[in-house]
Amino acid sequence: MLPPKLYDQINSVTPVERQQILGHGRNVPDVKAKLPSDDSSIIVMPFAHFFDRGKIAVTKSNRFSYVPAHTHKFIEMNYVLKGNSSQYIDDHKYVLQQGQLLIMDRSVMQRINYATKDDLLINILIRDDDAIRQLLDCINVQSNSICRFLFNATQQHFNHDNYQIFDFNDNPTAQRLVESIIINGWHNDGSHNQVLYLLLKSLLISSQESLVKQQTNFIDARTDTLIPVINYLNTHFRDVTLRSLAEHFGYNPNYLGDKIKHEMGHSFKQLLQLRRLNIASNLIEQTNMSMAQISEYVGYDNHSSLFRLFKQILHTTPTEYRQRVTHPHQLDVDVGYFQELSKTQKKLQHK
């Protein structure tokens, strides 16, 4: 249990949350994230102000809105302190429950659905490879999966789209350690940095038994021939075809298609659709571009192709998706949340 005073601080409405309430659930970016060089509209969360006081930081994910698709420049852990968190991790939907923790490497693409006032998601951030190496010092890396995961994250030439999910509800030691990390990391002025390292190192050692889900593929980018292929697909999503992709890398199209399906678990067409879907959804969320403009941007000749993509994967239309982003009361969530949202908004408007 967190100290009541600290819990009240974490649960209080932040300035960004206030803006999101007053904006009827529209997302208000709290950091100045940049688009990558390929201009794909998948933003990269920067170091920003997170690590002003040390290489391990503790923050809260803002409620009353969503978080658009993004990747990170650092290692991120999400811990559900209260309620739940509905997320898309590389297009796989997970609903994290209270007491569960997600850890992601830098290339993992994450989207977070709307969070209510009763959903508290805590972020534990690890800045860079040097910080990870300090954590792993004197630990047998092969002893458990999370240590192997973090070791892989420090390797320049390795794949970095791995993630793991832990459930600490039957692991009171891990729960107490996470709570201690929150206590020492919240508003840390730099004096708790060594304590944070020791607590996080202890959490790594005690977490193995609580692993419930993982996507770990520790392949070496220097020897795996598919990584540059997928990177090329992600960059040239507007006009790439299986034939042009195969010709670029000197493969037979049928061979490459089978290789992608076998190693990625998705066909070329599915990977291309998922890439275009994430880019289109981000553009819908963050811009006023018309559906025709978005369709053209992601490589479709007409709006009907974008329509079919959204219906097939998200079971909604692009226009309905924009309506849900603009008016979150149309989302399939607890009605009590929106009643509370309305009450909170009125209170804020009268202050």
Share of residues in the chain with pLDDT > 70 (%):
89
Helix (H) / strand (E) containing 163: strand 163-167
At 45 the pLDDT is 85
174 and 85 fall within a common domain:
yes
At 341 the pLDDT is 54
Band of residue 40 on the pLDDT scale cut at 50, 70, 90: low
Q: Percentage helix, strand, coil, to 5, in the chain?
A: 45, 20, 35
At 339 the pLDDT is 53
- In the predicted model, is pLDDT for residue 294 greater than 90? yes
- The answer as to whether 119 is a domain residue is yes
Position 286: which residue type? Q
- In the predicted model, is pLDDT for residue 160 greater than 80? yes
Whole-angstrom distance, CA of residue 184 vs CA of residue 190:
10
Q: Which residue has the higher pLDDT, 30 or 184?
A: 184
234 and 152 fall within a common domain:
no
Band of residue 332 on the pLDDT scale cut at 50, 70, 90: very low
**Which residues does 22 contact at the CB level (< 8 Å), separation at least 6?**
345, 348, 349
Number of domains in the chain: 2
Domain containing 169 — which CATH number? Answer: 2.60.120.280
Q: Which residue has the higher pLDDT, 65 or 328?
A: 65
Share of residues in the chain with pLDDT > 90 (%):
46
Neighbours of 222 (CB within 10 A): 9
Average pLDDT value over all residues in the chain: 86
Whole-angstrom distance, CA of residue 35 vs CA of residue 27:
17
Neighbours of 42 (CB within 10 A): 19
312 and 276 fall within a common domain:
yes
- The answer as to whether 345 is a domain residue is no
Residue 164: strand pairing partners: 103, 214
Segments forming the whole domain that contains residue 246 = 226-328
At 104 the pLDDT is 96
- In the predicted model, is pLDDT for residue 141 greater than 80? no
Band of residue 329 on the pLDDT scale cut at 50, 70, 90: very low
- In the predicted model, is pLDDT for residue 333 greater than 60? no
Within a 13 Å sphere around the CA of 120, how many CA atoms are in the beta-carbon half? 16
- In the predicted model, is pLDDT for residue 211 greater than 60? yes
Of the ranges 30-44, 72-86, 303-317, which one carries the lowest mean pLDDT score?
30-44
247 and 205 fall within a common domain:
no
Whole-angstrom distance, CA of residue 206 vs CA of residue 325:
40
Own/partner contacts of 321-327, CB < 8 Å, gap of 24 or more, are 321/281, 321/284, 322/284, 325/25, 325/26, 325/27, 325/66, 325/284, 325/285, 326/24, 326/26, 327/24, 327/25
253 and 204 fall within a common domain:
no
- In the predicted model, is pLDDT for residue 346 greater than 70? no
Residue pLDDT, tens place only, 296-325: 999 998 889 999 999 888 788 999 888 876
- The answer as to whether 39 is a domain residue is yes
241 and 150 fall within a common domain:
no
- The answer as to whether 110 is a domain residue is yes
Residue pLDDT, tens place only, 219-247: 776 667 787 888 889 889 999 999 999 99
Whole-angstrom distance, CA of residue 66 vs CA of residue 86:
10
Count of residues in the chain:
351
Q: Which residue has the higher pLDDT, 342 or 238?
A: 238
**Which residues does 60 contact at the CB level (< 8 Å), separation at least 6?**
10, 14, 120, 121, 122, 123
Domain containing 323 — which CATH number? Answer: 1.10.10.60
205 and 234 fall within a common domain:
no
- In the predicted model, is pLDDT for residue 178 greater than 90? yes
Helix (H) / strand (E) containing 123: strand 120-126
277 and 147 fall within a common domain:
no
| Domain termination site, one of 146, 180, 215 | 215
- The answer as to whether 106 is a domain residue is yes
132 and 256 fall within a common domain:
no
136 and 182 fall within a common domain:
yes
Q: Which two tokens stand for residue 42?
A: 């998948």
Whole-angstrom distance, CA of residue 94 vs CA of residue 124:
19
At 334 the pLDDT is 44
At 328 the pLDDT is 55
201 and 291 fall within a common domain:
no
| Domain termination site, one of 215, 240, 266 | 215
- In the predicted model, is pLDDT for residue 330 greater than 50? no
| Domain termination site, one of 183, 215, 247 | 215
Q: What is the DSSP string of 22-34?
A: HTTT----SS--B
> Helices (H) and strands (E) in the chain — how many of each?
14, 11
Band of residue 331 on the pLDDT scale cut at 50, 70, 90: very low
128 and 9 fall within a common domain:
yes
C-alpha angle 197/200/203, rounded to 5°? 150
At 49 the pLDDT is 76
**What is the DSSP pairing of strand 43-45 with strand 67-72?**
parallel
Average pLDDT over residues 46-63: 88
Q: What is the pTM of this model?
A: 0.78
Residue pLDDT, tens place only, 261-285: 887 778 999 889 988 888 888 788 7
